[in-house]
Amino acid sequence: MYVMTRTAKHTLYPLVGLFTIILIGVSTPAFSQSKAEKTFTVITTDHQGIETEIKNVQFYWEEKVSETAFVPHELKHVPVKRGNATVNVKFDGIRTIEVKSPVEKGLPLVVISLTNGNSGEFSLALPGSFKGQSDFGETDLPASAIRKIVFK
């Protein structure tokens, strides 16, 4: 017969309780599955007037960390400059984006219209593209090649 000392009991019970909490927490949907991310579908019009529907669209850019290494970034917002500030305009609130030519070989200017009726003109903060799935496969459209984006 196994006899547990008082010290062992007091050490073991909190560990059993902690282990039980961890098992219950991991088995609940909130911990075992990440919250389903909202996907966005857009209709893009390029400078040639060609419209493309892109599903699960993201703003994509690569950060150069060395001569041969890049870190990809896939965002659900558009980083733009307003004065010296960088503003991340979330896809949730965007109705349309109209892309204008850059002023001086810089990044394009964009006019963003929000679903609440507000609009503003900004310059892109990063040289990126809009990437997602079209009926014909993966699509990667540089922001500078776009004339208009309409969020569905």
Report whether pLDDT(25) > 90: no
pLDDT of residue 69: 94
Global model pTM greater than 0.85: no
Cα–Cα dist 86/48, whole Å: 30
Cα–Cα dist 116/31, whole Å: 34
pLDDT of residue 106: 83
Cα–Cα dist 74/130, whole Å: 9
